[in-house]
Amino acid sequence: MNRKVTVPPNIGTEWRRLGLPRELSIAFWAYIHNDLAANYEKLRVNRDQGGRGFKHKKVFKDKDGNAHLFVILVDDETSADHLIITDLQHIPR
């Protein structure tokens, strides 16, 4: 069973503040809502020490070939049916 990904308003606000290109935004959110949930069993092994979930790192490239590393903290303990994005860090490469 795939869990539903939940993105709290504060995460959406932080994302918009990053000011990333539209194509990168589309690729990132498609990944979050489709692949993150579909690959949950493989991704959940990197537990966040002291937290309520797991940490996942993913690199995306923009149309100019610049790499963008995202560190995503996901709460998978609060709800059996949801993956809740609790933190998002962007590290340009």
> Span 41-67, mean pLDDT?
90
> pLDDT averaged over the chain?
93
Most distant CA atoms of the chain, gap in Å: 39
pLDDT at 48 over 90: no
Q: Say yes or no to pLDDT of 87 above 80.
A: yes
| Domain range list for the chain | 4-92
**pLDDT tens profile 8-37:** 999 999 999 999 999 999 999 999 999 999
- The answer as to CATH 3.40.640 being correct for domain 4-92 is no
Task: State yes or no: pLDDT of 1 exceeds 70.
Answer: no
What is the structure's pLDDT at 27? 96
